[in-house]
Amino acid sequence: MPTREYDAIIVGASFAGLAVARELRGKVLLVDRHEVGSHQTSACGTPLWVAERLGVKESVIQVHTRVVIHTPSRTVTYDTSESPYCTFDYRRFCRGVLGQCQVHFLRTAVRGLEGGVVETDAGRFEAPCLIDASGWHRALVGDGGLPAAPAVPLSFGLETEAHYSGEALYFWIDPGILREGAAWLFPAGAQSRVGLGSYAGTPKLRAPLARFLRTLGLAPTRFHGTYFPARLGAPIAGRIFAVGDAAGQCLPLTGEGIRPAAYFGRACGQLVQSVIAGARPLEVALDEYRRRVLACRRAYRLLRALQRGVQRMPGAWLGPLAELGNHPAIRGYWWPRYLRFGQP
Ligand SMILES: Cc1cc2nc3c(=O)[nH]c(=O)nc-3n(C[C@H](O)[C@H](O)[C@H](O)COP(=O)(O)OP(=O)(O)OC[C@H]3O[C@@H](n4cnc5c(N)ncnc54)[C@H](O)[C@@H]3O)c2cc1C
């Protein structure tokens, strides 16, 4: 079969891939094994400005101005009214961003790279600019196989929807619910997304999630779950850009991956566009992208260290720690910085 040629090929049409695609004008191929917006793997909670900046505010279901953290000994409430969070509809979000892209979308599975050619179930494709936005699968930058051997430690999340409405984003950090992990309940209108995330990467979360739902008096509907990275990975591999979970850009501790995928996706897209337009050589764009991602290395290291601390900490310390983090003197230092991550 002949190889078809493009200016750029993006593998993965979720948060990271769409954020890249939105910046590109040229002969661009966007590939995903699922229809865009059809395969939700996230609770879809993110700062409201992320949806606004991507031009998909219409996908927002609910705005949240409080984050409530339950620990074994106490409950701590963080006020986020200065920079509210939202829960959104995944399908509307993705389809809304896709509507702004000038790309050719192809639904097919990528098998890997062979001799610089992207091998898919629908044929072979080539481009000077290759972008891996395939999440933890790392279809291009992984070690040549599917699924790729994980290069960074992975957490695992399992989630369901339940008929419940609420006013805040709720977290539980409680070894009684899950050792080395957290539980959440994110209201989105009449439904809430309820899940468990294991920092240890344990995929066997169905039983503890069912137990947790019972304690809340809720019944599960459909389940979905997947891995997400717990450490920043390499932003480039050879001549391939890696974006989003494919590059370990999900924030450790909080597991926020949408905002970094949108942020680094935009940066990557703008650099790739400059290559397509002939304004930069590919090597310079790769180097600039690597530099921009690694500029955030310290923030990732700090969050990773905190995650490891929480994983190992006795349950009795979690309440005082959450309260300490909310003390005005301490909160004033870290909270605005955390919220500013990814803002222009
Ligand atoms: C249960 C759960 C809840 C979460 N909740 C939140 C939350 O509320 N807020 C938040 O900010 N983060 C959340 N996260 C993390 C967040 O979902 C991820 O960090 C985010 O989805 C990363 O986006 P991405 O585009 O890099 O990868 P993904 O969203 O994983 O997208 C990868 C895309 O690549 C495609 N793909 C993969 N392999 C191939 C292949 N071989 N061929 C073709 N296509 C391929 C997939 O079909 C997919 O569409 C959650 C994670 C989990 C597991």
CA of 233 to the centre of ligand 1 (A): 15
Query: What is the residue type of 88?
Result: F
Instruction: Tell whether ligand 1 has an atom less than 6 A from the beta carbon of residue 187.
Output: no
Bridge partners of 46, per DSSP, are: 86
Q: What backbone phi and psi angles, to 5 degrees, belong to 329?
A: -65, -35
Percent of the chain with pLDDT over 90: 87
Q: Is residue 207 domain-resident?
A: yes
Instruction: List Cβ<8 Å contacts ≥24 apart for 237-240.
Output: 237/132, 237/140, 237/141, 239/128, 239/130, 239/282, 239/286, 240/113, 240/130, 240/131, 240/132, 240/140, 240/141
Q: How confident is the model at residue 315 (pLDDT cuts 50, 70, 90)?
A: confident
The answer to whether the CB of 255 is under 6 A from ligand 1 is yes
Instruction: Report the largest interatomic distance among the alpha carbons of the chain, rounded to a whole angstrom.
Output: 64
Query: Does residue 343 fall inside a structural domain?
Result: no
Q: How far is the CA of 227 from the centre of ligand 1 (A)?
A: 8
Backbone angles phi, psi at 213, to 5 degrees: -60, -40
pLDDT over 70 at 308, yes or no: yes
159, β-bridge pairs: 195, 224
Cβ proximity of 342 and 260 under 8 Å? yes
334 part of a folded domain: no
- Would the CB of 89 count as within 6 Å of ligand 1? no
Domains: count for the chain: 1
Q: Residue 86: pLDDT above 60?
A: yes
Q: Considering only CA atoms, which of 225, 251, 244 is closest in space to residue 134? A: 244
Distance 239 CA to ligand 1 centre (A): 23
Q: Are 23 and 269 in contact (CB under 8 A)?
A: yes
Residue 143: predicted pLDDT? 60
In a domain, 131, yes or no: yes
Pick the closest to residue 303 from 247, 249, 263 (CA basis).
249
pLDDT number for residue 144: 53
Q: Which atom of ligand 1 is nearest to the CA of 16?
A: 25
Flag whether pLDDT at 266 surpasses 80: yes
Burial pattern 244-275, b for ≥16 Cβ within 10 A else e, equals: bbbbbbbbbbbbbbbbbbbbbbbbbbbbbbbb
What share of the chain in percent tops pLDDT 70? 98
CATH code of residue 143: 3.50.50.60
Integer Cα distance of 160 and 218 in angstroms: 11
How far apart, in whole angstroms, are the C-alpha atoms of residue 243 and residue 37?
18
Write down the pLDDT at residue 154.
Answer: 94
Atom in ligand 1 nearest the alpha carbon of residue 13: 49
Residue 343 has pLDDT above 60, yes or no: yes
pLDDT tens by residue, 146-189: 444 357 899 999 999 999 999 999 999 999 999 899 999 999 99
C-beta of residue 256 within 8 angstroms of C-beta of residue 262: no
* Domain interval for residue 291: 3-298
CA of 212 from ligand 1 middle (Å) equals 24
Mean pLDDT of all residues belonging to the chain: 94
Tell me the C-alpha to C-alpha distance, in Å, between residue 219 and each of 145, 175, 193, 210, 222: 38, 22, 12, 8, 10
Whether 30 is in the pocket of ligand 1, judged by its Cβ within 6 Å, is no
Ligand 1 pocket test: pick from 88, 228, 338 the residue with the most ligand atoms within 8 Å of its Cβ.
228
Per-residue pLDDT, 145: 43
